[in-house]
Each structure stands twice: as C-alpha cells, then as structure tokens.
A and B are shown apart, each in its own frame.
Chain A
Amino acid sequence: MASLAATFGRGAMTNHWKDIKNTDVILVMGANPAENHPCGFKWAVEARDDRGAKLLTIDPRFTRTSAVADRHMQIRPGSDIAVLGGLIRYALENDLHHADYVRAHTNATFVVGEEYGFADGLFAGFDEAASNYDKTAWDYERGPDGYVRRDPSLEHPRSVFQLLKQHYDRYTPEVVADIAGCTADEFLQMAEIICSTGRADRVGTIMYAVGWTMHTVGSQIIRTAAILQLLLGNIGRPGGGINALRGHANVQGATDHAIVAGILPGYLKVPTPPQTSLAAHLRDSTPRPLVADTVNYWGNYPKFYVSQMKAWFGEHATPENDFAYHHLAKQDGDATWLTIWDKAREGTLEGFVALGFNPLLAGPDVPRLLDSMSKLKWKVVIDPFMLDSAEFWKAPGMDPAAIDTEVLYLPSSHWIERDGSFTNSGRWAQWKEKAVDPPIGVQPDTWILSELFWRVKELYQAEGGAWNDAIQQLTWDYLNPREPTMVELAKEINGYDRTTGRLLSSFGELADDGTTTSGNWIYTGSYTEAGNQMQRRGTADPTGLGMHHDWAFSWPANRRVLYNRASADAEGRPWDQSRAGIAWNGREWIGDVPDYGRTTPPDAAGAFIMTEEGVARLFSSHLADGPFSEHYEPVESPSPNALHDNVAVNPVIRWYDGVRESLANGDDDYPYACTIYRVVEREHFVTSNVPLLVEAMPDFFVELPEGLAAEKGIPNGSQVRVWSKRGEVQGTAIVTKRIKPLRVNGRVVWTVGIPVHWGFVGITQGSMANLLTPFIGDANTRCPEFKSFLVNVERA
C-alpha cells in the first residue's frame, strides 16, 4: 500500500472488483486470484469471455489462474522488478506509452534537482553507515516562484521523463531474460500484449497481491507496476488501474482502521517523539503544494486529525490541551512485525495480545519466532479457534518445561456470529448481518476489548499510574459501555457535527477547530442521517460499467474508481467514451463521484488531488529505497545480481541481529529457489478447523518440477524433506509439469513451491512453511520476505 500512496496519494486498490470486467488486458502477477480471490476473479473471466480481454499470468508457478489464462510466463521468484522494468523500457522504446496522458497526469514534466543520480545500484544520497538515503538528493528543481520547474516538452535531460527512460534503459529483454529466467522471446510476446493498452481506446489492468508485497523490494515492485500503468495511461480509468487484492474479506477495512504499524485510522500519522506539540505534528504531516495547480487534499490533514482526536477524547480534547495530542503515545522507531519479535527476542517486549490471527504461523523464520515467543512473560490469544500460537510451547521440538510464558486463551465470537462491516479490496464497505449465535460463553471482540478497557480503567482509578488521564478521559460513550454495538461504532467512525449532533455526510464537513468528530475521515459519509450507507443494496447501474453507486459505501465519498479525473484528458473529455469514468459537461463532472471538485473546471488543478504535485508520481521520494525502482536480488538468491553485483540486495533493508548468519547465500548446500503460497481450498490457517475444506486439500505438500524430482529420485506422492538454513519441512511431493527449470544468468535454476496452510493444531497437522523463510522484510513496510529464499530437497 505504501508504494501506491507514494505514486498516487492513496494506498488502495485503484478500481474495484466488478470494474475488472471493463478491461482489455489483465496482467496477473504477484497474485493468484483464481485461488486466493476466486469470487472476484469472475470479473476477470467475464472480461476475457465477454470483451475478448487477454488474461496473462507471470508467476514462478503455473497456477490455477494460469490454467484459465491466455498466456503464462514463468519467472524466478524475486525477479519481478526486472520484468516490469523491462516492460517500462519496452513501452518507451517502442513509443507505446500514452503520451497525452503522461504529459497531463504524471510528473513526467517535472525537473529533478542536479544532485539526483543513479550509479552502480545506488541512488544519490546513500548513507552507507546508516544504510539509508538522504532524500533531499531526490528533490525537484524549483523555479523562481518556489514551485517545481516543469518542462512540458519532456526534453529536459533532468525531466522525470528523461530520467525514467534513462533509468530503465538497462532492462533490455535480454537482461530481463537473464534475471527472470524466461526467454527474451517469451518476454517480448508478453510485452506486446501488455503495452498494447497505451492508447486512448484501450485499457489494461494489473492484479497483484502479496506475491509482490512480501519481498525485500515489495514496495518497489508495486512502484514499478504503478509507473508502467501511468505510462500506459491506465490509472483512473474504468477497466484500468493497479489492483491490490486483499487476502481476507476485511483486510482493506483493517488497514483503513490502522491495523498496520505507523498509521492511525484513515492513514493519519502516528506522532513521533520530536513532534512535541500538535502544531509540530501537523506541520510535519501536512504536505505543502509543490505546484500552484494542485488540490493537495492532504493539506486538510489538520481537520482529519483534530476530528479524530475529538472522536476519541470528546470534551477532553480542547484547543488548550492541543486536542489531547499528549494523550497519544509517540512512536519511537518502528513497530512492524519483524521489529516486534526482534524486541521480544531481546527481552524488551514482555507481553503480546494476538487478536484474530495466528502469529506463529503468520511470521517468517518460525524457529526464531518460537525462540522469541518463549521469551515473552505473557501472551494472550483471542480467537474463535484454538491456535498454534496459543499452544506454541507444544510446537514440534519445543520443551514446554523450559518456557515460562503464561498463555491465556480467550475464545471469541467468529465474524459470522456478529454484525458489522467488511471493506473489500475495492474499498466497498458492506454491512453484514449476524448469521448465528456464538456458542454459550463465547464473547464478541467488542465485549472482550471493552471489558479489558474498563478493568484497566478501574484499576487506574483505584491505584493511579502513568498516563492516567489518557485512560480516564477516553470517550466510551455507548448505550451499554460494557459492550458497544457495531452500529454505535460505525456512527462514531463516521463522525458528528458536535454543535448539532448531526451525523456528518462527507469529510468535506470536517473542521480543525474541534466542532466535528470523525473516527476515520475516509469513512465519513458511511453512516449518515440518511442511514447506514454500508447497508444499501441498490443494484442500479446506469453506466453499465458496474459502478453501482447505490450499493454499499465506497470510500472515499462513495467514489468507485480512484483518480477518475485521469480517465479524461486535459479538457475533461473521457479518453474512451465507451468507458468514461467522469466527463466534464461544461458545468460539472458527470459519471462516477469525481475524484476532483464536482464543479472544478478540468484545467484548474492536477488530476491527482492527493499529491502535492497534483499529478501522479513517476518519480517519487516517498519510498525509502529510491525514487525509481531497481532490481535487487532476494537476500537468498540462486544468482548474482546481473545489473550490479556489488549492490546485490536492497541496500536499505533493516538487518536484524543474527539474520545475516541465518542466510544461505552463495551456499551450494541450498541450490533451489523456493516460494510459498496459498491454495484455494484453504484460507490461511482458520480452515484447519473446517472438515470439508481439510478434506478438499488434506495434507501439506511440496511442489517439485518433474526434472528436479527425476534428478533427486523423488516419485510423485512420496514424502520429501525440504530444508533451508533455518528449518525443515516434510510433506507429500506433487511432481508437476507446472514448474519448469529456468536459465538464470547462464545456469539452471529449479524452483520449489510450498503452501502455508498447515500447523500443529487443527484437524490435520502438517509442516509450517514458515519454518523455512528468512527473517527479513521490505525496506519500507518491513513486510517479511516470504516469497523468495533458498532450500534443498531430498526424498524423506
């Protein structure tokens, strides 16, 4: 998500599920929607069959998505940037990019400062000691008016367009083939189809998921795809976009409500220790326009922030006390997954509450994770099912007597046992009803969390303690304060006008003076005086494009396609009349809810209202590892970096203690590339408790290419052992034609595939795939590298 925000201003699927039916080319890469998003995948099939769209997969394996695709290309895990960079080069080299779009809607025209450069795998501003970049080296060049200098001709040698061309010029089809292991020919055939959408009358979409995010270069893979889609003019248009497919029914909703580290609900920022006052926080967090003609909607940050503080602390948040700014913890360093467990391993993290997930199976390097968990003093697991995480002390090879951790397991209700909302990948918040009652004695999360809050509050009342005010003053204004209803919470998230008590209908009404509340500004408008908008089920579709504005609520502002201003040209005419996002009729925009002022003329501001540039960023200083993307090898790679082996891996990733020693790089004992993934029959780990789904895919298995299996004497269906430098797994061999040997930098590389769904608790037990994976993550999000590492294989 970080990289989409870095490019477009918002971190979410740009379009929505049903919109995929409007496309001409679907590139599925870093995803396997047939298996992991089967219900949404129907729209891809519909585009293929009803529109004649081309469905393409690029993946280390021939998946069930590939089975229904028009074309598949196998690549080596971790080579995505090379392939996408090659596509960028192909589009530019063959003049297939959508020139008018690029000029109008991207920062191609922006001139970058002289300090910027790229050499030998490093961008300008690299600080070797700190392993990070000084991003001022990537600043734009400013004109005399203080705004960024622009060159509409795109010919300035330091214009983003020229720098982009220069940067990706190295990704020739031959280099792509060398790195990814496909053939140049295969690549060119793919490129021809994908880059055929760089025209006004054609549009293409990209579907990706954790196959991209779960790499040390995950954010930059997505950046590369975003750049490609911008060059092809595919962002903001129906049938286009770069579509992040979220793994569970409500991952998007959870992210929107700050389940990831480093943000507050609505993608507001967590205050940091140097921000000693609200003013300082707002100053650091509110972007200033870089050009005159930008909406720069994030300029409204103070309104969102203050309204959120009013929602949380009510009358206790006043201008005098910086709207209770000091009640919030200031985050020092990061609190990402890897860092949390690193702290546990050091012994500086004492306790852990796991609510609604299975951390032991969900993190990399399970042996290290078990060691870290064992150092916790206490651990609380709240889940409808008994989890491996709650019984980590029973994991194979553990000695319970040596573990002092106190584990509490609280059975909670399942989501089918309560009402509430799901926000799907396409940002549609859809209200659902409770289907069945929870078993007797099982409480919903809202009850558990309220109880926790009240008991802590009462303890504080009785005994006092640090930060007492923050706890005593927290708003907990519910009919039954011991168990808020979902409707109460939804209204609170939407927000009120504090003066009239009216539910707000749009975040445009939010104010920074304390007169409004909003728990999450992007959801303002989801529960208005007109009722629960998420519960709407209108099926009208006047455009025929499947926007369905009367169905549920789509954040922001019920907008169906993000950045839809870019679906029209500079004058506001849709690029493609048959697939118009919005159109300017001389007085106002019609079509989708415009991602732009409804009556703002087309030339008044840039199309991308969330960026301080007003346009989308081909060049972006918002990521840690470079303004453009660059191919770096996985930390465990079967191949040297063909571009710059002196900087083989991402130079700004965080190396936790002991991780370098746990890697097998350059070690002949671990010759095979390995990747892990999910299968459609199972949903992560929870389905270990569902007999019919266990029956459908009963056992842990290892997918092996036929040639490798023959070499190793492993018959189909036999037991195999797979081990990395960190751990080993054992399962049934599925010997398949669907993984082929690749020629990478002149040598043959075999790929082995492993599914993640097994653990030691549940109806069937099986090896945990994460026994193998390395404890390393993306340079920006720290999302762990689950997708490429090295192993060895033998018959068990």
Chain B
Amino acid sequence: MAERLLTRFSFFERILHWVVGVTFVLLLATGLAFAYPALFWLTALLGGGPSARVLHPWVGVLFTAGMAAMIVVWFRDMFLSDSDRRWLRAVRAYATRDSANVPPAGKYNAGQKMFFWVQGALAVVFVASGVALWFPAAFGASFLQWMRLAHYLATLGGGLFLIVHVYLGTVAYPGTARAMIDGTVTERWARHHHPRWHEEQTRP
C-alpha cells in the first residue's frame, strides 16, 4: 500500500532551492579553481579560465537573487523558538540518531534554521566582497586584499555547509531529497523528523 505523502515544499520553493543550489555549486567549483591551482581545471565547468572569470560574478548575481528570494520566502519560518533552543542543546543526540533525546521539531529543526541564517550571512559577505572583486579598478589594492580574504572565508564556510547539507539531505537521511524534487515526503519521514509539523499537517 502506498504510503501517504505530505507536501513539504511548493514548486516555487523548489525552484528557488535549485537556483541557489546549482549556482552555489558552480560558484564553489570555480571559486575553488581560482583558489587552488590543483583545482584550476574546474574552471572548465564555466568554459575555462577566462570565461569562468567572466561568468563567476554573473552566476553570483543569480545566486544572490535566489538567496534574496529564499530569505524573503522563508524568513518568517526561521526564527528560533524555545523548543529549537532545546533541540540545539541536543544536537549531539540528533547526530548520533538518538532520536528519543531529540526534542520534536516543527517544519524546520533548529539546525536547519541555523544553516539558513549562517548561509544568509555568508551570502552577504559573498556579495559585498564579490562586487569589490568584480570591479577591482574602483577600489584600493589593500582593501581588495581584505576582500579576497573575506570572499575566501565565506567560500570555506559555504563549502563546509554544502558538505553537511548534501550529506544529510541525501545518503544520511533517505527520503529527504525528494522534498526538493517532487516536493513531498512520506508521513513516516515527517513524523520522525518534524513531528510537530506532521501533527499540524495531519490534524483534521
């Protein structure tokens, strides 16, 4: 018997996610290519060195637009509640699958919310430093050097986020990724991961 499915993300939300996701991966790949000579071949993703340098900021513009929309759309859902704070204190239990000791989450657990805010903050750093590096002629060398450092640090943060995000969203928690594909999750999944949300969704 087919399990009952709950809609977790709307079509628009999924579009947003993938705009941000794809652009971020491209940006990360080419950014790492610029940062690490050993990865310079990754510029091939955007047509080689010179064109990667041209396209990277434009992809960044798309990323920025997606991020901005995402923030607007999810902003309200992402405030931390008291139960979220409890969740955060129990993050170790979450990581070790000790679900008994994980406080029940709403639509988003506190980890997801934190990622949202961190990601938002990083985006601001990316954009601010990225604009300076896009138009270096308008700025002084020393300022640009600091911007390069800032841009890299954001890259590092974003890169680490991506590892966790992709891992958790795919192999670690089967049934998760579909939320961003067809927008649905199984009730079973919802009940386990987001019991309070599940409750809201299934309340008659």
Q: Does A touch B (CB under 8 Å) in the complex?
A: no
